[in-house]
Amino acid sequence: MREILELDPLRRASAQVLACRSQLDKTVRWVHISELPDIAYLLRGGELLLTTGMGIAGSGDVQRQYIAELASAGAAGVVIELGRNFGSIPAAMIHAAEEHCLPLIALEREIPFVEVTEAVHRAIINYQYQLLSQAETVSRELTELILSGAAVGEIVSRLAEIFDNNVVLEDEAHQVVEIAGSRAGIGAVLSSWQEHSRAGHDETGRGTVHHHDGEQTCMWVGLWLRHSPWGRLHVLETNARFGEITELLVDRAGAALALALFSEKDAAHLADRAVSALIGEVVAGRHGSGIEFLRRARSLGADLSGGRLVALAVEAVEIEAGQVGEMLGSSALTEEERLSIRLFVSEDLRVSAREHGYPALVGLSGDRIIAVVGVPPSRAVPASVGYIVEMTAGRVAERYPSLSVVAGLSDEAAADSVHKAIEEATTALGFGRRGALGRRVHQFSDLGTYQLLARLAQGPELARFVESELRALLDHDSKMGSKLLPTLRAYLNHAGRKSDAVRTLGVQRRTLYARLGKIETLLRRDLDDQDCRTRLSLALQGLDLLHDRWARHAG
């Protein structure tokens, strides 16, 4: 709008802005001439209306309604020529324009409106041509990158430079495939990615560029390959403000990336990401029948139809004083580093399985690596699968000395129940992550009471039991800086042996006694009683299981 007021016809007519000067940055899509008082219903938004005021020269009520309707229709502004019907613009119209944030402009000299429309439309067309030329330049650059064999990551990095913002390429399972932009902001983007990506990013039309106004503003477009959704390209407004050309560039960038994903150079990576998408569907229970699952797995290079199926859930964890410590996601590593580690473990597990003749579908599901493995009839399940995990663990330890690998292994399953197998493997992983380093693979069938609790967790019974046993302690820890739950856990893990608990906690003996006394008071339990310790041990296992289940669903 500001540029339009500088055009020669409007300068000669001494155009004066009388109301809502703050909205002069509105985009003018077209110029319309009309003397109808009810013209608003014919407008589509973005029009600059030219009028002499013939249809509204009488009543102040009509003039106020005229302004209100134009604003409601999304008009960019209204220009009124003085002389024929108005000597000056009525105060009622000026007040209404300010109230409805509609720019109101008066022309103090008479001028043929056709000169205004010709000048404005010429300027609009020239500007649109400039935008198209800029978009074509970017399209040619991206095409040259693809033809020169550039990887998808290189293209995403170049897009981040073009947009001067963070750019994220994700697959259909909302896993970040590539991210580029300001390194200082990448960690923040990744840490909240699942929350951002899974809210307000529903496809409403193939090839449509969408604008998301959440906690993190972004423009995004869905990527489709062979008539199937593959993922999304997001441009985040992390540095530079979006302009009028941003939407057009996002559209061109999405088309270029779809072409790049088809290239032979990225065929293997494309398959990996498609595997993660299929794993995500299985975890969510949206993979269809067992036959359909086997068919899709075979199309991704894993023929699982000839053996017994088991599921593996694998995590890299930090090592703490001979114990499995915190899961990788809670370490001091950046999100980018964690993702790199998970991809390394995933690829190594896939290679180890292939080298020893095991078809395996391996992908990422949140913080975990999930694998569905086909074990030949002639081989023992725990030993053979455990050997694959041990090989991967060895290579992980060579590359990341502070990390270890822990895995959960399901019972044997049919293709129709692979969803249940993944649940079992994930449950076994949750148990194993809190165990000693001496055991790498934890099988669901060996979990004992933890297995029983996992089945109870399907309903409300487990949550009720945990609450009845631990509520007072959980309430205390939620309010106080000094937590008592770790003390109870260490004491019970060592079967009530106080000297072992003291060493594990790294506290003095009298400190442990004081904490145990506080716990007994809060819970109204005698910790020297074996039955009491058994109940509390079960409650802690149940609490861990519920926490793991919540974390999986939240992710």
Each residue's pLDDT tens digit, 376-390:
777 777 777 888 888
CATH of domain 143-262: 3.30.450.40
* The predicted structure's pLDDT at residue 396: 85
Asked if pLDDT for residue 234 goes beyond 90, the answer is yes
Q: Are 290 and 282 spatial neighbours (Cβ–Cβ below 8 Å)?
A: no
> CA 86 from chain center: how many Å?
56
Whether the Cβ atoms of residue 201 and residue 210 lie closer than 8 Å to each other: yes
How much is the CA Rg of the chain, to the nearest whole Å?
33
Instruction: Evaluate if residue 268 carries a pLDDT over 60.
Output: no
Percentages helix, strand, coil for the chain, rounded to the nearest 5?
55, 20, 30
Residue type, 545: L
Q: Kindly report, residue by residue over 200-232, the tens digit of the pLDDT.
A: 787 767 778 888 887 889 989 988 876 778 888
Does the fold of domain 461-554 match that of domain 143-262?
Answer: no
The CATH T-level fold of domain 301-447 is Alpha-Beta Plaits (3.30.70)
The answer on pLDDT for 438 being more than 70 is no
The larger pLDDT score, comparing residue 184 to residue 326, is at 184
Structurally, at CATH architecture level, domain 2-111 sits in 3-Layer(aba) Sandwich (3.40)
Domain boundaries, the chain: 2-111, 143-262, 301-447, 461-554
Look at the block and give the residue holding tokens 């790049």: 260
Determine the pLDDT at residue 68. Answer: 92
**Burial of 278 (C-beta count, 10 Å sphere; 0-12/13-18/19+):** buried
Cβ atoms 312, 370 nearer than 8 A: yes
What is the side-by-side strand order in the sheet with 30-33?
A: 15-19, 104-107, 77-81, 47-51, 30-33
Count of alpha carbons within 13 angstroms of residue 220, beta-carbon side:
28
How many other CB atoms are there within 10 angstroms of residue 516's CB atom?
Answer: 19
Neighbours of 317 (CB within 10 A): 24
What mean pLDDT comes out for the span 525-529? 88
Give the residue-averaged pLDDT of 504-518. 89
Q: Give the model's confidence band at 321: pLDDT under 50 very low, under 70 low, under 90 confident, else very high.
A: very low
**Helix, strand or coil for residue 249?**
helix
What sign does the dihedral 245-247-250-254 (CA atoms) show?
negative
The rounded distance, in Å, linking the Cα atoms of 422 and 343 is 19
pLDDT of 298 above 90: no
Q: Picking from 123-137, 327-341, 381-395, which range would have the lowest pLDDT averaged per residue?
A: 327-341
Rounded CA gap, 178 and 194, in Å?
Answer: 14
Band (236; pLDDT cuts 50, 70, 90): very high
Beta pairing partners, 232: 170, 222
CA distance 503 to 58: 92
Query: What is the pLDDT, as a whole number, of residue 458?
Result: 60
What is the mean predicted confidence (pLDDT) over 25-42? 84
Query: Where residue 450 falls among pLDDT bands split at 50, 70, 90?
Result: low
Half-sphere exposure of 49 (CA within 13 A, CB side): 30
HSE at residue 186, side-chain half, CA atoms within 13 A, is: 19
pLDDT at 415: 87
The span from the CA of 373 to the CA of 356, in Å, is: 12
- Read off the DSSP letter of residue 517: H
Helix/strand/coil (H/E/C) assignment for every residue in 434-464: CCECCCCEEEHHHCCHHHHHHHHCCCCHHHH
Name the helix (H) or strand (E) containing 349: helix 335-355
* CA atoms of 120 and 253, how far apart (whole Å): 30
- Both tokens assigned to 363: 């992908």
User: DSSP 3-state assignment of 245?
Assistant: coil
How confident is the model over 272-284, as pLDDT tens digits? Answer: 677 787 888 888 7
Superfamily of the domain at 461-554: PucR C-terminal helix-turn-helix domain (1.10.10.2840)
